[in-house]
Chains A and B, each alone.
Chain A
Amino acid sequence: MATTQSGSATPSPLAAPRSPYARRKTTRGNYELYSWVFMRASGVVLLVLVFGHLFVNLMVGEGVHAIDFAFVGGKWSSPFWQIWDLLMLWLAMIHGTNGVRTIINDYAQRDMTRGVLKSLLYLAFTIVVVLGTLVIFTFNPCPPGAPAELLPSICFPN
């Protein structure tokens, strides 16, 4: 056995001469690498999601003039658009927050400034993502007591 010899009479104070080189482990992890990969992967997915979103909301039919409560209610009564918008919300917010984080790191030179700006950024991220997710999942396209002419057609079967 090449391990320490407990019974040795003259224990050497020096390290073994041929001990293999061990790279010191970084304590930082690969966070920046994952973030770099995420920007590219989510960017490609977002191109499809956002272009689809813009086409359906701005190009089809009357475009921006057709957007009102009934339009949104009609879209979100389908799980397809719920999932589409949920995915877009999360990917766009993480992608955008990470981009702004990079910009803050580049231009805010004082530690204090960087800390404050990034705290505000993460606070905005949390509020917007939680609110957006809740809205998509708890939305009622036919709220009781609302004027009928403002509601989507799915509220009036037959």
Chain B
Amino acid sequence: MPTAPAGTLYRGREGMWSWVAHRVTGVLIFFFLLVHILDTALVRVSPEAYNAVIGTYQTPIMGLGEAGLVAAIVFHAFNGIRVVLVDFWAKGPKYQKAMLWVVVGLFVVTMAGFLPRHLMNVFGGGH
């Protein structure tokens, strides 16, 4: 029996690529979430254990990783609202493309608010 490879490129353009980006960011966030809950659980071990591990999050390299994580979350969140509107708003499917550009716009604005503050904390006068 012939099998088609799963998940091939089917339509391209905004609809498909936003769907791909939603999946990729979702998986990234999920694996971070697993690690994040486990590291936070160290508060139950001892203050020293928690501070030692969280200290490794406060290096410049991890700071850049956090910026990427926040970017993934912000896109996933705004595009998720777009998915809800496509599904439940009568005109959603008609405006799905326009809504993607609204998502991109909101993403840029949110990151413009977040990045300077975060990068100052990471690279600026901190410890």
* Residues of A bordering B, CB below 8 Å: 40, 43-44, 46-47, 50-51, 54, 58-59, 62-65, 67-70, 72-73, 89, 92-93, 96-97, 99-100, 103, 106-107, 109, 124, 128, 131-132, 134-135, 138-139, 143, 146-147, 150-151
Residue contact B38 to A128, C-beta cutoff 8 Å? yes
Give the chain A neighbours of B80 by CB distance below 8 A: 40, 43-44, 47
Range for the number of chain B residues in contact with chain A = 35 or more
Q: Report the Cα distance A131→B3, complex, angstroms.
A: 41
B77 on the A face (CB < 8 A): yes
Residue contact B121 to A139, C-beta cutoff 8 Å? no
Residue contact B81 to A44, C-beta cutoff 8 Å? yes
Q: Report the Cα distance A96→B7, complex, angstroms.
A: 20
Q: Report the Cα distance A137→B40, complex, angstroms.
A: 13
A138 and B44 in contact (CB under 8 A), knowing A54-B70, A62-B121, A107-B7?
A: yes
Give the chain A neighbours of B51 by CB distance below 8 A: 68-69, 150
Give the chain B neighbours of A69 by CB distance below 8 A: 43, 47, 50-51
Q: Name the residue on B nearest A96 (C-beta).
A: B30
With beta carbons under 8 angstroms apart, the residue of A47, A68, A99 that contacts B30 is: A99
B54 on the A face (CB < 8 A): yes
Question: When each residue 103-127 of chain B gets 1 if its CB lies under 8 Å from chain A and 0 otherwise, what string results?
Answer: 0000000000010011011100011
B33 on the A face (CB < 8 A): yes
B77 to chain A, nearest CB (A): 5
Q: Report the Cα distance A93→B27, complex, angstroms.
A: 12
Residue contact A43 to B84, C-beta cutoff 8 Å? yes
Q: State the majority secondary structure of interface residues on A.
A: helix
29 contacts between A and B (CB under 8 A): A43-B80, A43-B83, A47-B80, A47-B81, A50-B77, A59-B117, A59-B118, A63-B120, A64-B63, A64-B118, A64-B122, A67-B57, A69-B43, A69-B47, A72-B40, A93-B33, A96-B30, A99-B27, A100-B26, A103-B23, A106-B7, A107-B6, A128-B34, A132-B40, A139-B43, A143-B47, A146-B48, A150-B48, A151-B47
Q: Report the Cα distance A47→B106, complex, angstroms.
A: 14
Q: Report the Cα distance A143→B47, complex, angstroms.
A: 8
Q: Name the residue on A nearest B122 (C-beta).
A: A64
Give the chain B neighbours of A97 by CB distance below 8 A: 30
With beta carbons under 8 angstroms apart, the residue of B70, B84, B121, B126 that contacts A44 is: B84
Q: Report the Cα distance A131→B6, complex, angstroms.
A: 35
Q: Report the Cα distance A93→B41, complex, angstroms.
A: 15
